[in-house]
Structure 1
Amino acid sequence: MSASPILSNNERLVVNSEVQKNGKSTGVAYAFWFFLSAVGGHRFYLGHKGSAIAQLILTLTLVGAIVSGIWAIIDAFLIPGMIRDFNQKVENEATQQVVSNRSDNND
């Protein structure tokens, strides 16, 4: 893992703005989990499309619905980490963009 570059205050504001704009909310994720956990709504929201589709398909059968229910309960504890990972990815991409723009402007 590489060290993050030193950003000016303005650059940090740009990065934080991108995270605010493109990041995911804990409240929204839990709302999707509460109302749509059986069909993987929270996983679709957090960008885990493959596992969301698997959860959706599992819900179509009785045994799969039981497995999906257990999976949803476990996800209640995993959501904060998924949000942290997603928002960290957004922050890293925004930081790379700011650093790239900085080096382009210096040329």
Structure 2
Amino acid sequence: MIHLNLSNEEQLLVNSESEKRGKNIVVAYLLCIFLGDLGIHRFYLGRKGSAIAQLILTITVMGLIVSVVWKIVDLFLIPEIIHENNDQLEEQIVQEVISKRS
């Protein structure tokens, strides 16, 4: 996302910080595939409430079935979650850059 009120140097800084602080889709998928039943990928993505719920569900036999289905659904949701997270992070970084101008 290009912010018109930023100089080229500021935009480069925003892009660099966004890449450094942002979530990685490969990491999210690996966590989901290997530890998804425990909700570890949701902790990584900053979704602590649903991560705790998934972790608790995994403890029960019936909940384990629900958790496996939830993990499969998450495989399709991960790209959008990361996109939203990284967009919010970029906006935060832009505000940090703008506030440092003064």
TM-score (ref. length: structure 1): 0.90
1:34 aligned partner: 33
1:84 aligned partner: 83
Q: Percent identity of the aligned residues? A: 54
User: How far apart in 2 are the matches of 1:51 and 1:5?
Assistant: 36
Q: When the two structures are aligned, how many residues end up with a matched partner? A: 100
3-state SS of the aligned residue for 1:6? coil
How big is the shift at 1:7? 1.0
1:18 aligned partner: 17
Give the 4+ runs in structure 1 shifted more than 6 A.
none
The alignment yields a C-alpha RMSD, in angstroms, of: 0.9
Q: Which runs of 5 or more residues in structure 2 are unaligned? A: none
TM-score (ref. length: structure 2): 0.94
User: Larger Cα Rg: Structure 1 or Structure 2?
Assistant: 1
Deviation sequence 1:63-93 (CA, Å, 0-9, x none)? 1001111111110000000100111111000
How big is the shift at 1:20? 1.1
User: How far apart in 2 are the matches of 1:78 and 1:5?
Assistant: 30
2:62 aligned partner: 63
